[in-house]
Structure 1
């Protein structure tokens, strides 16, 4: 291990089981952690499918806030979730987050006014940082030799979610509108609460409750939120608009101020000494960039599938949502299967080599998608190649974090990875829409995208992946949790 956090563990979990082999209890714990973690991905898909129903139900032109409110609340709260997990144990904080998430979605489902829907979504945003704590909890709970495969399985199960959620979203929204999607999220989050409460054991505390850095959390969370908001709105406002530049400047100023605030505080909300270490900085940046591509590009590809095919006007494929769900089964199965296989290899091989191989395949795959995406067969074949790499990436990113931080720093590492994915996701999405708009035709106020725009979106994914690959080449050998006697289980 390169170094450890200055805060020693204040509360240790029960000792590891002899031998550290899989058993029914550990499988149940993994399911209990994976269900609510991947519910985040399912919520994104359900929310995207419910957006049109929200706009029509409330006759609003501000429907973008339906998703943006949750994203901004989640970004603001992530630093606090990381620190509170260290202070009170991750299980306790996760239970509070799930209770608030379920309540927020229920409030949004019951709301009769659009502003109250947004209030509910803001409360549901408390659930957003869950992934930052769940991957850290894997290291708290599992025997050292199972940390890497368990983390890999947790990450790769997003492929299984992507496989079934589009069908679920269509059924819920077609039959019950946006309320059906929100009620499903509320009930599923309630089930997740029970799974964690009943199956996940106590997790340790890693910090003293003295001197909580509220100011640091607000400055960091507010700065990140302002930047994400500016980037998210820049395409509609215009990149030179005073509002875009103002929010962006305010966010950057807050992030700079955060560096000085943390130096002056005896108990900083984020230990910046950890982030100054080269292996940590490289692993988090490369992991954030690569996972952004793996999570963002499939959503952008939905535009290609669902936009109409009008020769000379629109180069979309003109599929229905149901047809797109059927076709996408192929590459989502590939992603899930590859992730499970990678989880096995990550335990026995150098994780850096597995990770780099995944990046190479993902970059090559999205390059192919950019050239060949004109029909079902082309898109399925090229997307399967890309998702071989994506499966390795989503399984490998948590293992990268495990390999560069100590157990005490795991929550910080996972939380920073989540924050970077949010930030990079906003930037990549904005860049993708800029490319689409540069190759578009406007008819009756609606922009229809040309084939060159779709091609460049996929090539953008390949370029970002290559950037992650370049950074990954400089990551030094990773620590092995099996050799770390400090890991509680």
Structure 2
């Protein structure tokens, strides 16, 4: 392996095209990074649709582990992925991650027992932190002038996933069961490997020292994993249950220990001095909170759409999965189109103002959705309004991070944003189910949710958005990579 250069940012040459104009090579490069990044979102949709098939095939009551295993492995590995990308170059790490992801999904698809399915999903979890590197890679391989628009397009492309993945999931699972979904993910991840290998250049190394803080990585990753697991299981175990409290206590203790471990480490896995800077802490926090709402709320709205409509018992809309996929096209088009539009004008506008507008519109949209969600027309109108704001959020969150960290710190910033989204997502989901269960009726062991529960789920999204909006007002002016990254080292 090539030794690390004394000046890590000079390990590879800068992009050949530096005039800031799009060309075919840069478009292909963007696709090569966006495909594997948004495949993670598609995998979540396909996995959710395949869960019932897994349970019926293997007659297991532990099917929650089908998705949880991948999430926990991904959370545990994220700190290591961030550091390895800085040490050895992001392309090498991304290739290893996609290879393991394809192998894991193929193993799960071939599995003849449930435990072997979980082994495959655990291996596939190595692919989970890909987004921690791909957004950071944009800053390394694109001309400085295109870093912000390329990051915005990468983020908003999640709207395309929302358009096609529900239809694809229904076709695969209905035709071939869970194995069809997993084989598709294996093939799509193998394609991601080929795209990265052929189209993405090696990125500079941003770590001056070759040492690795394994203890710090295990403590941080383990602590976050324990928190995500404890929050995720708290709703089924009960929040006062000893198991829930035990996992949460372990997670908090591990994070406290991590700060002491990092202070004494000669090769810290995360640079805490960067994270202590107020602009960085604010950008990561508001980016994590707002993106959590943008990604989590549509999934929770599926419960409203698919649960049956039984007067006095269940306030669901009673749609089929296919009908829900057709209706959701409207708000996913809004999300994608908004992100693409804003990417064209980032060079002329203050991203902070657009960001605050997006978070505010998202909060207003989900506030209205809490009041108006009883039929197709109401849900389309309120969701389109909320996703108008969400489109700005998912496209501008990477831009916020770019504006508060240096090029050498980009991997750390993008990775921490990913970790916060996982943690906040677990907390928001747990809170949503707490509201649902507080307004539910149990019949023959099945909980049916009443209208007040769905209303509070939407209002929870609005409340979290408002918190993000208030914090966003304190973000100082952002640095422009076109000016900062173009300076000589």
TM-score, normalising length from structure 2? 0.97
Q: CA–CA distance in 1 between the matches of 2:81 and 2:39? A: 18
Is 1:372 the equivalent of 2:364?
A: no
Match of 1:439 in 2: 439
Q: CA–CA distance in 1 between the matches of 2:63 and 2:350? A: 46
Q: CA–CA distance in 2 between the matches of 1:485 and 1:134? A: 18
Deviates more, 1:185-194 or 1:10-19: 10-19
Q: CA–CA distance in 1 between the matches of 2:410 and 2:85? A: 11
**Does the 8 Å contact 2:237/2:243 carry over to 1?**
yes
Q: CA–CA distance in 2 between the matches of 1:209 and 1:344? A: 38
Is 1:230 the equivalent of 2:218?
A: no
Q: CA–CA distance in 1 between the matches of 2:457 and 2:16? A: 47
Deviates more, 1:121-130 or 1:198-207: 198-207
Match of 1:356 in 2: 356
**Does the 8 Å contact 2:144/2:486 carry over to 1?**
no
**Does the 8 Å contact 1:407/1:486 carry over to 2?**
no
Match of 1:187 in 2: 187
Q: CA–CA distance in 1 between the matches of 2:341 and 2:20? A: 20
Q: CA–CA distance in 2 between the matches of 1:43 and 1:132? A: 16
Q: CA–CA distance in 1 between the matches of 2:284 and 2:167? A: 33
Deviation of 1:346 after TM superposition, in Å, equals 2.1
Match of 1:26 in 2: 26
**Does the 8 Å contact 1:104/1:121 carry over to 2?**
yes
Q: CA–CA distance in 2 between the matches of 1:481 and 1:269? A: 25
CA pair 485-339 structure 1, distance change in 2 beyond 3 A: closer
Deviation of 1:292 after TM superposition, in Å, equals 0.1
**Does the 8 Å contact 1:288/1:421 carry over to 2?**
yes
5+ long unaligned stretches in structure 1: 1-5
Deviates more, 1:205-214 or 1:43-52: 205-214
**Does the 8 Å contact 2:15/2:141 carry over to 1?**
no
Q: Which aligned pairs between 1:32-431 and structure 2 lie closer than 5 A?
A: 32-208=32-208, 210-431=210-431
Deviation of 1:484 after TM superposition, in Å, equals 1.0
CA pair 99-303 structure 1, distance change in 2 beyond 3 A: same
CA pair 308-458 structure 1, distance change in 2 beyond 3 A: same
1:326-379 superposed Cα distances (whole Å, 9 cap, x missing partner): 010100101110111121222220000010000110000011111111111110
Is 1:453 the equivalent of 2:465?
A: no
Q: CA–CA distance in 2 between the matches of 1:361 and 1:210? A: 45
Deviates more, 1:345-354 or 1:376-385: 345-354
CA pair 487-442 structure 1, distance change in 2 beyond 3 A: farther
Q: CA–CA distance in 1 between the matches of 2:96 and 2:477? A: 37
Deviation of 1:20 after TM superposition, in Å, equals 1.7
CA pair 303-55 structure 1, distance change in 2 beyond 3 A: same
Aligned length: 484
Q: CA–CA distance in 1 between the matches of 2:76 and 2:349? A: 37
SS in 1 for 2:9: coil
5+ long unaligned stretches in structure 2: 1-5
Deviation of 1:95 after TM superposition, in Å, equals 0.4
Deviation of 1:209 after TM superposition, in Å, equals 5.2
**Does the 8 Å contact 1:217/1:269 carry over to 2?**
yes
Match of 2:3 in 1: none
Deviates more, 1:306-315 or 1:341-350: 341-350
Deviation of 1:121 after TM superposition, in Å, equals 0.4
SS in 1 for 2:355: helix
Deviation of 1:441 after TM superposition, in Å, equals 0.5
Q: CA–CA distance in 1 between the matches of 2:487 and 2:50? A: 42
**Does the 8 Å contact 1:140/1:487 carry over to 2?**
no
Deviation of 1:18 after TM superposition, in Å, equals 3.8
CA pair 348-56 structure 1, distance change in 2 beyond 3 A: same
Higher relative contact order (CA 8 A, sep 6+): 1
**Does the 8 Å contact 1:140/1:488 carry over to 2?**
no
1:255-303 superposed Cα distances (whole Å, 9 cap, x missing partner): 0000000000111000000000000000000000000000000000000
Deviation of 1:108 after TM superposition, in Å, equals 0.4
**Does the 8 Å contact 1:13/1:488 carry over to 2?**
no
Q: CA–CA distance in 2 between the matches of 1:18 and 1:406? A: 19
